[in-house]
Structures are given as C-alpha cells and as structure tokens.
C-alpha cells in the first residue's frame, strides 16, 4: 500500500465508522453491547474512554495509538479480510483496523462471543 493511501486510511474517523459497525451487527440480530465488548477486548477502552475518542473525532491512527492496552491475543486473529491475510499486514495501524473489521464480521456472522474473543 502506497504511503499516500496509508495516510488516507489513517485519517478515517473512528466516530464515522462506529455507527456503521453498529448498523452492521444490529442488522444481523447482534447488539451494540456485544460490539462494544469486542472493541473493548481488542483495545482496552471502556465506555467512557471510547466515547471520548468519538467526541474528540479522533482518526483510527490516534484511536489505536491511544488505546489503553491492545489485547495480546489479537495476534490469534487470522484469515482474510478485504483481500489481505490479516496476520501478514505489517503496518500496525492498518493491521489493528483489519483486526477490528474481522471481529465485527465474526460478530455479524453469528459467531459466539467466546470464540470471537479468542477465549
């Protein structure tokens, strides 16, 4: 991925994508609470700290840089997302974004929360 493309991706606002995640999971009979559980598991955010990220309109690069604690089990998230093997993505921000995309997809596909959280 070219640097200019990466910079575009970095600048995507978490606050604009989060409602799309909600819509996606709710359309598949999952809940916003389940979505938040997945996001909190991956990033270490809680309701208050994630809401601060939304209110500050932080981009994904900032969202992940300021994450309280990326889950050490995130590396267990493998497979294809958007045509890329998630475990082969070298850029930390983009890999973390794809991890989140993969978790949201698994939630929307009806996978059990315990499996999604790599328990």
Q: Which domain holds residue 98?
A: 3-114
In eight-state DSSP terms, residue 59 is B
pLDDT at 1: 64
Collapsed DSSP state (helix, strand, coil) of residue 13: strand
Does a structural domain hold residue 14? yes
pLDDT at 29: 96
pLDDT digits (tens, 9 = 90+) for 9-29: 889 999 999 999 999 999 999
- Percent of the chain at pLDDT > 90 equals 84
Tell me how many domains the chain contains.
Answer: 1
Q: E strands within 1-119?
A: 80-81, 84-85
Does a structural domain hold residue 66? yes
Does a structural domain hold residue 119? no
Phi-psi region of 107 (alpha: psi -120 to 50; beta: other; left: phi over 0): alpha
pLDDT at 9: 84
Does a structural domain hold residue 45? yes
Does a structural domain hold residue 93? yes
Residues of the chain with pLDDT under 70: 1-3
pLDDT digits (tens, 9 = 90+) for 28-42: 999 999 999 999 999
Does a structural domain hold residue 19? yes
Q: Could you tell me the pTM of the whole model?
A: 0.92
Q: Is the CB of residue 105 less than 8 Å from the CB of residue 21? A: no
The CATH number assigned to the domain holding 103 equals 1.10.8.290
């Amino acid at each position: 991925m070219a640097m200019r493309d990466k910079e575009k991706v970095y600048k995507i606002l978490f606050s604009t994508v989060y409602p799309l995640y909600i819509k996606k999971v709710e359309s598949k009979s999952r809940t916003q609470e389940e979505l938040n559980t997945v996001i909190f598991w991956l990033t270490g955010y809680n309701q208050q700290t994630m809401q601060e990220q939304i209110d500050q309109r932080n981009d994904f690069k900032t969202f992940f840089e300021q994450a309280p604690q990326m889950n050490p089990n995130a590396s267990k998230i493998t497979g294809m997302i958007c045509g890329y093997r998630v475990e082969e993505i070298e850029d930390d921000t983009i890999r973390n974004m794809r991890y989140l995309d993969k978790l949201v997809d698994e939630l929307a596909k009806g996978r059990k929360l315990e499996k999604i959280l790599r328990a």
